[in-house]
Amino acid sequence: MRLEGKVALITGGARGQGAAEARLFAREGARVVIADVLDPDGMAVAAEINELGGDATFVHLDVSSQDDWQQAIDATVAAYGKLDVLVNNAAIWRGGHVLETTGEQWDTVLDINAKGVFLGTKLAIPEMRKAGGGSIVNISSTAGLVGSRTSTAYSASKGAVRLFTKSTAVQYGRENIRANSIHPGPIDTPMGDQVWPDAGSREEAIERTVLKRIGTPEDIANGALFLASDDSSFMTGAELVIDGGLTSQ
């Protein structure tokens, strides 16, 4: 098992990609903390993992709150004794061109998507130091690699995650704390339904990929597993693009 003995905290683990990562990590031997604002959904994913013989706990976490983060990290260490892996997956999507985006919308998106990743990283690193190292996996987007036609603040937040990941890698590599980003293309999740709300827009998203399909949450979870595990022990500051070839054209 590729995560035997590891303790992983996954934000936004109540549904979508985060839930797929929680299930896969647990199957690979990790003890998993699912952290989300959706309490009943998160508890249900943890219960499902436990029923299948895994080991998972749910904690309430709004990633934009430093107090919540401290409580989530403390709860992780109280339950499992340490923290080895942090997956900063939680995010929200908001559409809008530059002229349509209000300052309030900008702040909301950046607070959750970018500041949330910063706060989690800041509070996880001291625990990873105690554990002798760690792996931080930040979920960015293809919208963090190229300009977005539809979602200004979201794209800016994902670009921030991309470079914040590299700063983390550069600053803490000496301590065996690695940080890498994942850049998903169109993925079939509740957020995907929000971005592509009808058959036409979904078909358009599929058509823009090279592989001519929408990705599954498991496509991303497989990449997150690789970056979380020691299989990627010589990788840090890197970008793992899982987008069906979208940005290769």
**Catalytic annotation present for 172:** no
Contact positions vs ligand NAD (CB under 6 A)? 11-12, 14-18, 36-38, 61-64, 89-92, 112, 139, 141, 184, 186-187, 189-192, 195
Strand order in the sheet with 7-11: 55-60, 31-36, 7-11, 85-88, 134-139, 177-184, 239-242
- C-alpha pair distances (Å), 82 with each of 122, 123, 173, 174, 207: 16, 13, 19, 20, 44
The nearer residue to ligand NAD, 116 or 134, going by C-beta atoms, is: 116
| Given 69, 93, 106, 154, the catalytic residue | 154
Least separation, in Å, of the C-beta of 4 and ligand NAD? Answer: 25
The nearer residue to ligand NAD, 89 or 101, going by C-beta atoms, is: 89
Quick one: how many helices (H) and strands (E) in the chain? 9, 7
The answer to whether 83 touches 31, Cβ cutoff 8 Å, is no
The nearer residue to ligand NAD, 131 or 238, going by C-beta atoms, is: 238
Least separation, in Å, of the C-beta of 186 and ligand NAD? Answer: 5
The DSSP bridge partners found for residue 215 are 187
**Separation of alpha carbons 232 and 215, rounded Å:** 22
Least separation, in Å, of the C-beta of 175 and ligand NAD? Answer: 26
Least separation, in Å, of the C-beta of 17 and ligand NAD? Answer: 4
Residue nearest ligand NAD, Cβ-based: 16
The nearer residue to ligand NAD, 134 or 244, going by C-beta atoms, is: 244
Q: Could you please report the per-residue DSSP string of 67-81?
A: HHHHHHHHHHHHHHS
Would you please indicate which residues are annotated as catalytic (active-site) residues?
Answer: 154
